[in-house]
Structure 1
Amino acid sequence: MALLSSPHPLPTQFPASPASLRVRRPPITACQLCTHKQSVRQFDQSTLTVAEGSSESELWAAACLRVRSFYHFKPSMFGLQDHRRYLAERELEAMKERVGGKRKGFRKVSCINATVPLSQISSPSVSDDFCSSCKFNNNGEDRVVVGTLDLNQCVSLPDEITGNRPEGIGADFARAYLSNVCVGKELHRNGLGYALVAKSKLVAQEWGISDLYVHVAVDNEPAKKLYMKSGFVYEKDEPAWQARFLDRPRRILLWFGIPGVQL
């Protein structure tokens, strides 16, 4: 399990970078998962915390994880570390704008992170880059952001098909979308994706959200399995012309009704 959701609810425009640094972001689907086999690093599940992030250091760690997850770089790329840091700084800036309520069209956005103590995953089987770049300090304890997502309270996400529920007045208060969902590849198959989605449902319920949505690539069976096992059901398909125009795999929209919330 690798990438579970698209990088930004709104596209972030980056200044042109030198040709030696330029990286083409792969076609982003709203929910991506890698299916290749790899070793799994286990950790003590009792040390896992899934909560809304607020400190700048934690948001920075989440931004670094998103860059590691949503971009693909050639190891031989000149200035790679500087370019990755540049992208993380841009993502942090956009994240703070969204979470701070400054993004037009979004009533509320929360960055929800799954974190574990650094001591739980620091080992030869986990890259030093992952531990160092996604690390932050919480009350004197070094922790690592191992999974992250955004919960967006809004009527629609730019360049995405729009949910049908609820209808009419009040939809901007009661509809929300998941985006930017990703889990560190070093900790796949530890249930982190499910934990992030479960927490997002609880936060959505607190906000009075009645209808929760997520976009998933039509051919991404692992991602669809994750969300459908979490209670999401199919609502509609993205038109093929739209996917071609945006140069990305076609998507479907999945819906989940938050229990106990009614307009």
Structure 2
Amino acid sequence: MAFFSASTRLTSVSISFSPFSRGILTPSPNPNLTPNRVVVFSNEVPLSHPPFSIGTLKWRIAATNICKQEPIGVDLSLSSVKECFSDEELHAAVRLRIRTFYDFNDSCGVEDYRKYLTEREYEALKERVAGKKIGFKRVSCINATLPSSTTLKSFAELCSSCKKIQFSNDGKDCVVVGTLDVNQCVRLADELTGKKPEGIGADLKRGYLSNVCVAKELQRNGFGHALISKSKKVARHWGDSLFSSVFTTRKQSITDLYVHVAVDNEAARKFYEKGGFIYENEEPAWQARFLGRPRRFLLWADLRLEK
């Protein structure tokens, strides 16, 4: 099942995702796109919404060539879920997100557009993870991977488009099957802002999940829950790193974690509730209409209660 936080959906279930980097995309005209020019989020079930650098897009790619392959059962114990930093890992994570959150057709020029989106989002993700993005105290990209040589019968069970999400790790071929970002920041652009924790400076302990997704063919294997569990551990242990200001140096970990979920994405909401998130707020209809996307719920988890 695939996971995103608020707008994407796979043949089974998608998790949460937030916009990659939340910028404003001004693409050059492409005659191969439909007249409406609106990029469509995949029709699969997303668990969270993606904070891409492109922000809220207003154009559409006509048809869909999303993989129709039936879900594949795999042994979760063969997977690895960890923070990633290398260019290869970040690039593979972005390719999975683009593949999950967008529907593309096979018309001329679409592949170039896909590459454009991938490179744009890769650069935006790399900037955030490196701590260079203003407004983000810290960002971590977490990937769930499988060894392609020992799993899925040497990867032969996955369709060709899925193979684009593999990378080499210590000489071994791996495939990214799930990914998400943990963002330590006061708010995400164009999204509801969490209310906790309260107090002066307390909002520095607030975090958000974004870009949560699991490959469609591999949903319902536990990767989504493994990603959420790992993200909570990473957020809690960020207190081991130093937060510097002009007058003080102190430790800051995340105590309150948020995720945005599309109001009509009941599967994603249940997924997060199972993971310890509860309802805190919801977006007014006028705001969603203004931004041209589905209305969202804001869910909250108290990491102080986590073991």
160-169 vs 12-21, which moves further? 12-21
Q: Distance in 2 between matches of 1:150 and 1:12?
A: 20
Q: Distance in 1 between matches of 2:130 and 2:198?
A: 27
Point out where structure 1 has 5 or more consecutive residues left out of the alignment.
none
Indicate the residue corresponding to 2:92 in structure 1: 61
| 1:108/1:153 contact within 8 Å kept | yes
1:77-92 correspondence to structure 2 within 5 Å: 77-92=107-122
Which among 240, 256, 275 is matched to residue 230 of structure 1?
275
Instruction: Tell me the CA shift for residue 27 of structure 1.
Output: 6.0
| 2:260/2:298 contact within 8 Å kept | yes
| 2:47/2:271 contact within 8 Å kept | no
Partner amino acid for 2:48?
C
Instruction: Tell me the CA shift for residue 170 of structure 1.
Output: 2.2
| 1:150/1:178 contact within 8 Å kept | yes
| 2:47/2:267 contact within 8 Å kept | no
Comparing both structures, which one devotes a greater share of its residues to helix?
1
Instruction: Tell me the CA shift for residue 81 of structure 1.
Output: 2.4
Indicate the residue corresponding to 2:27 in structure 1: 15
How does the TM-score come out when normalised to structure 1? 0.90
| 2:32/2:110 contact within 8 Å kept | no
Say whether residues 1:213 and 2:258 are aligned partners.
Answer: yes
Name the SS for the 2:85 alignment partner.
coil
Point out where structure 2 has 5 or more consecutive residues left out of the alignment.
3-7, 9-14, 50-67, 239-252
Say whether residues 1:129 and 2:161 are aligned partners.
Answer: yes
Say whether residues 1:243 and 2:257 are aligned partners.
Answer: no
Q: Distance in 2 between matches of 1:19 and 1:67?
A: 21
| 1:21/1:83 contact within 8 Å kept | no
Instruction: Tell me the CA shift for residue 102 of structure 1.
Output: 0.9
The superposition leaves residues 22-76 of structure 1 with CA deviations (integer Å, 9 ceiling, x where unpaired) of: 76223698726xxxx972212222210010011101111111101101111112x
> Kindly tell me: are residues 16 and 151 of structure 1, through their superposed partners in 2, closer, same or farther at Cα, counting changes over 3 Å?
same
**Alignment RMSD, CA only?**
2.1
> Kindly tell me: are residues 84 and 219 of structure 1, through their superposed partners in 2, closer, same or farther at Cα, counting changes over 3 Å?
same
Q: Distance in 1 between matches of 2:76 and 2:161?
A: 22
Indicate the residue corresponding to 2:301 in structure 1: 256
1:33-72 correspondence to structure 2 within 5 Å: 39-72=70-103
The superposition leaves residues 174-220 of structure 1 with CA deviations (integer Å, 9 ceiling, x where unpaired) of: 00000011111110111111111110000010011100000001111
Q: Distance in 1 between matches of 2:181 and 2:29?
A: 27
Indicate the residue corresponding to 2:40 in structure 1: 26
| Identity %, equivalent residues | 54
Q: Distance in 1 between matches of 2:155 and 2:121?
A: 28
Instruction: Tell me the CA shift for residue 19 of structure 1.
Output: 2.4
> Kindly tell me: are residues 236 and 9 of structure 1, through their superposed partners in 2, closer, same or farther at Cα, counting changes over 3 Å?
farther
1:97-112 correspondence to structure 2 within 5 Å: 97-112=127-142
Say whether residues 1:201 and 2:215 are aligned partners.
Answer: no
Name the SS for the 1:89 alignment partner.
helix
Q: How many pairs does the alignment contain?
A: 255
